[in-house]
Structure 1
Amino acid sequence: MPPKLSLLFSFLLVSASLRAQTIIEGRIINTKTGEPVPFATLGVPRRSIGTVADEQGHYLLRLPAGLTDTLIVSSVGFSREVVLPKTLAAGQREFQLAPQEQTLRDVIVEHRRVHPSLLGRNNAKGDILWLAGSSGKETVDDEWGWEFGTLLKPTKRTYLEEFHVFLATNTYEHLRFRLNLYAVEQGRPGRVLVTRDIQLICTNKEHGWQTIDLRPYALELEAQPVFATIQWLQSEKKDPWDKYFSIPVTRQAKQVVVERENSEAAWTTHPMQPSLYFTVMTE
């Protein structure tokens, strides 16, 4: 095919794809307070379709035309909302999430024998760089919700002090991530173990080790495997053509890297270990 005809054909394919896309906009609201739920996630189960709401609970979701799948809306500390296809077809765009009741445990102050330790990989070097971003795209919001992490195996009761992840590269002026912890179910992340929204914000193309102080959250892990992940919540929208960040990983037979494209997509696993770790106190 002549070059000009080939280029025209490609343009027509892209144009047809854009026309076949349905864009819906709305808000996520707290049923108890009526206030917006910031950074709630929206996703279609086991498909690469989803996004994240902004600070004011506003979302913009790009769906294939004629989609007949269920939509899941969720956020840390809230019950999941299942949105049926007929609800979307009827034009509903505001979704409500009910806050989960938190049971406060009795706190017994006692002196335990604990010592500082590390959980995860604290080496900044890797065999390859795991790349994520929006390079070559005019839109970035359909990348939000991407999630990446690793399997960790505490051998004793562990108290999390700080979280660390190494960004080898970062060309974004603004990046926001959520830290998630999951129970292991059938070799994949399952039940969410955190009840509070824990975020990491990187500005001005920050790279190197990025840290979250976890002491205010009083997080404990039992002596059993757990998945720790970061979830991409937000980035600036301007000039997305050369925007990406990367995390070093090493190839290892037993350690497992997990990744999914949005909050409801299927998890994939890889025999690797990322530059991601916790400083902890362990019994």
Structure 2
Amino acid sequence: MMKTLLIANFLFLCVLLHAQPSIVGTIIDTEKQLPVAYASLGFEGLTHGTISNSDGKFKLPLPEGIDQKAKIQISCIGYETFEISFDQLQQNSTIQLQPSITQLNEVAVFSKNKKGKKPNKIKSKKLGKSSTFLPLFHAYYSIWGENDPNNLGREKGMIYPIKSLGKVNSLNFHISSNNYRLIKFRLKFYTIEKGKPTTLLHQKDILFDLEDSFLGWYQLDLSAYDIILQPSQKKVGVALQWVDSEQQNEGRRFFSISAAIGTSPGYFFKEDVFEKWIIKKGKLNMYVDVLPMDASR
């Protein structure tokens, strides 16, 4: 009995010694005093960060030897980016974000037609790969055996050329493996500079759930969002960021989008919230459905 207790105590101490220290807190909206869900935060200049949960609560791992004056950056779509020092956060673990005010241009969507005739049916255009013929690899968000089962902040996406004015109607992507009961994604549309994603094209936060281990082609209706693609932008980056999940069981953690080898750079990803983008040759089985627009009206 004594031997068993000694072993148990030893194992408990090992867990404590190897557990990474962290700081916990809550992010709220300054005006509404409500939780800000799925905000990104991390130490400035470092690659690792985390994301707040649906209640605005977070658990941020602390790097070894972190300075008390180190800056923590907090950001979320629809809010002003905020900075706070580590020692300030220790004194008050509630972070308040200020909603951002951005004036967006409105553009009407319609089809050209001659006077006295019924409007023509608008035919959409596809940006990206819409076929799963001979997928050559899987772009994994999650794979069994990883240390972090949550995959918080991971992003994968594609860069597409913009040749004409259009309004985004839907996003479509092909899921090749999925062992999760629920996954919550954030969809992002980026401007592209020097071949890499930079600033967001939209101010509305686009969050959606994948449920019941969904497999195959998934379509996300974006007609309610005013996401306008303009030729002057030349290119757009479209990415899915993992912000939350519920596992089906403890033993299996797989989720991937099917993909194919490409001849030019276009597939981009990062494994953590504040990591730098990695650009590779490849094509995710993902496309954007775009409705053409007339800029003259």
> In which range does the TM-score fall when normalised by the shorter chain?
0.7 to 0.9
Specify the SS of the correspondent of 2:263. Answer: coil
In structure 2, the CA distance between the partners of 1:274 and 1:195, relative to structure 1 (3 Å rule), is: same
Letter in 1 for 2:273: S
Could you tell me how far apart the structure 1 residues matched to 2:249 and 2:44 are?
Answer: 30
2:257/2:285 contact within 8 Å kept: yes
Q: Deviations over 1:220-270 (max 9, x none)?
A: 101110110000010116744421201122111224111112222111111
Specify the SS of the correspondent of 2:88. Answer: helix
2:173/2:217 contact within 8 Å kept: yes
Specify the SS of the correspondent of 1:269. Answer: strand
1:136/1:240 contact within 8 Å kept: no
Alignment match, 2:237 = 227
Bigger CA radius of gyration: 2
Letter in 1 for 2:95: F
Alignment match, 2:219 = 211
Alignment match, 1:65 = 64
Letter in 1 for 2:140: L
Instruction: Name the stretch that deviates more: 227-236 or 36-45.
Output: 36-45
Give the gaps of 5 or more residues in structure 2: 1-9, 114-121
1:41/1:52 contact within 8 Å kept: yes
Letter in 2 for 1:148: K
Alignment match, 2:29 = 30
Could you tell me how far apart the structure 2 residues matched to 1:244 and 1:46 are?
Answer: 30
Could you tell me how far apart the structure 2 residues matched to 1:109 and 1:123 are?
Answer: 28
Residue 18 of structure 1, CA deviation: 5.6
Q: Deviations over 1:116-161 (max 9, x none)?
A: 11011112242111112152256534x2110110101120011111
Could you tell me how far apart the structure 2 residues matched to 1:237 and 1:24 are?
Answer: 25
Specify the SS of the correspondent of 1:271. Answer: strand
Could you tell me how far apart the structure 1 residues matched to 2:225 and 2:26 are?
Answer: 28
1:258/1:269 contact within 8 Å kept: yes
1:47/1:264 contact within 8 Å kept: yes
2:201/2:227 contact within 8 Å kept: no
Could you tell me how far apart the structure 1 residues matched to 2:78 and 2:93 are?
Answer: 22
Give the gaps of 5 or more residues in structure 1: 1-10
Alignment match, 1:77 = 78
Alignment match, 1:275 = 285
Specify the SS of the correspondent of 1:262. Answer: coil
Residue 25 of structure 1, CA deviation: 1.3
Q: Percent identical across equivalent pairs?
A: 25
Alignment match, 2:119 = none
Letter in 2 for 1:277: Y
In structure 2, the CA distance between the partners of 1:206 and 1:169, relative to structure 1 (3 Å rule), is: same
Specify the SS of the correspondent of 2:21. Answer: strand
Could you tell me how far apart the structure 2 residues matched to 1:18 and 1:137 are?
Answer: 20
2:149/2:253 contact within 8 Å kept: no
Alignment match, 1:260 = 270
RMSD: 2.6
Work out the number of aligned pairs and report it: 270
In structure 2, the CA distance between the partners of 1:103 and 1:239, relative to structure 1 (3 Å rule), is: same
Alignment match, 1:195 = 203
2:265/2:279 contact within 8 Å kept: no
Alignment match, 1:103 = 103
In structure 2, the CA distance between the partners of 1:106 and 1:174, relative to structure 1 (3 Å rule), is: closer
1:147 equivalent to 2:155? Answer yes
In structure 2, the CA distance between the partners of 1:109 and 1:129, relative to structure 1 (3 Å rule), is: closer
TM-score (norm 2): 0.82
